Structure 1
Amino acid sequence: MGHRALVAYERPDELYNLHYSHNGGLHLRLKRELTSRTPFGGKETNSRQELLTELLESTDSTDSIVEAFLGADDRPQTAVDVKPKTTRLTKDEILTEYLNYADTEAFYVVSSEFDVTAYRVHWFGLYNVADTAEASPLYGYGALRTVRWYDGESVGDGFVQGEFKTLKRITGDLLDRGVFTHEEAVEYLKQKLIAWTDERTELIIRTSSVSH
């Protein structure tokens, strides 16, 4: 089982190309590994920097661009798939329609200046912690939180993950006891996260369901 992550690279038109990373959620590793010299992680090569530039500037299908690159650099060892999942999206479209909150551990936004923002992903579905929980959407249904960084290392990342898991277990227990309806339980999750967020943390919440 991987530590799935999605990476959104900002384009010159202020939209984003979206890429997948199978293990990029582990310890929020891509926060450190993605640089202008290693845009997909892995070893530094000029061709990968050129590839990203072409992908971000293209307004057509990127398949031919990636195929040309793979022909010159067979089996690239990168932390992020060089082929985009999709291109030219707004950030809101990604968070509402393309991010699976249930099986994605981390989400990264890479700015045009190559500043990397790392988010932990929290799913609001409660079926795995409550017998009486209703089915919940996978997309557009959860929260993203940043963590603090010091000297290139995350501070309290494990605590952030454990804190939310504990919150979900408590919420699921209250739901099974009849203290909450399902809607009230989800609202409780949201309000707790808001209360825990200070000026050093960015919190993004989405609860608009999208069917896939």
Structure 2
Amino acid sequence: MYQRLEPAEAMNVGHRALVAYQRADGRLSIHHSQWGALGWQLLTTCRPNSPFGGNNDWEAPVHEAIVDGEEPDPPNVPDTPVDPHPRTVVADLDGLTGQFDFLEYEACYVVSRSVDVRGFQPLWFARALPDADPVGDGALVSLRRDRDPVEDAARLTAWFRGVADTMVAMQEQGALTDDAVQTHLRERCREWEADGREVYVG
């Protein structure tokens, strides 16, 4: 089951990111990064010899244990951008979106077993649906590798705001119900697949 941060921890200043490490069994080990969303830094700081972004000797064997589905043994207070202690495990990327906290996290990363890192921009449906659940009611859209990640994420966000605001206006005119808005948002987000992106909708 997905574990949210405790309220006191959630109030800490930061640019929080959720980091999902792919395991050999196909599942994902879920980790927290307090500042990982800042400038999409984990796209470059997480590497095969430094999977948690800290350039420590212990990182590679800890990551290997996580990939193998074993209990990792990192330091109790690790000095790494990504906390190597797993918070939970989810079945796959589709399952990750359904349990992603769009209110808590500003960015999502998926790290392959060979530490190939992909960035995903979260798009929370609450902009058009005030009753949207922070956990699950949104989409994760991958960033393009051939573009600046900050600019690409901003582009996705600006596009989504335009779509959501249009839906709000149509809803206020009585042209759309909440269910229709949610369906339309899901369909519009999936259109990004035609741009060579991965899209996962909660």
Superposition TM-score tier, normalisation by shorter sequence: 0.7 to 0.9
Match of 1:178 among 174, 181, 194: 174
The aligned amino acid for 1:36 is P
Pick the aligned partner of 1:23 from 31, 35, 54.
35
Taking structure 1 as the reference length, the TM-score comes to: 0.77
Given that residues 16 and 33 in structure 2 are in contact (C-alpha distance below 8 angstroms), is that contact kept between their aligned partners in structure 1? Answer: yes
Helix, strand or coil at the partner of 1:136: coil
Q: 1:145 and 2:156 equivalent?
A: no
1:87-126 → structure 2 map (5 Å cutoff): 87=89, 89-97=91-99, 99-126=100-127
Q: Contact 1:147/1:156 (CA < 8 Å) preserved in 2?
A: yes
Over 3 Å counting, the alpha-carbon distance change for 1:199 and 1:163 in structure 2 is: closer
Q: What whole-Å deviation, never above 9, does each CA across 1:132-175 have from its counterpart, x for those lacking one?
A: x5622222221111122238x42522111121122222222222
Checking the alignment, whether the CA contact within 8 Å between 2:108 and 2:120 is kept in structure 1 is yes
Cα deviation for residue 203 of structure 1 reads: 1.5
The answer on 1:11 being equivalent to 2:12 is: no
Does the 8 Å contact 2:15/2:37 carry over to 1?
yes
Unaligned runs of 5+ in 1: 207-212
Report the counterpart of residue 41 of structure 1 in structure 2: 53
For 1:13 and 1:38, how far apart are their aligned partners in 2? 22
Q: 1:57 aligned to 2:53?
A: no
Distance 1:182 1:157, change over 3 A: same
Could you say what secondary structure the match of 2:126 adopts?
coil
CA change 1:16–1:163 in 2 (3 A) is same
The structure with the largest alpha-carbon Rg is 1
Deviation at 1:59, TM superposition (A): 4.0
Gaps of 5+ in 2: 1-12
**CA offset digits 1:70-119 (Å, max 9, x no partner):** 3xxxx43211112111136433332223x112332221111112111211
CA RMSD of aligned residues (A): 2.3
Amino acid at match of 1:79: P
Q: State the Cα distance separating 1:191 from its structure 2 match.
A: 2.7
Structure 2 residue identity aligned to 1:51: V
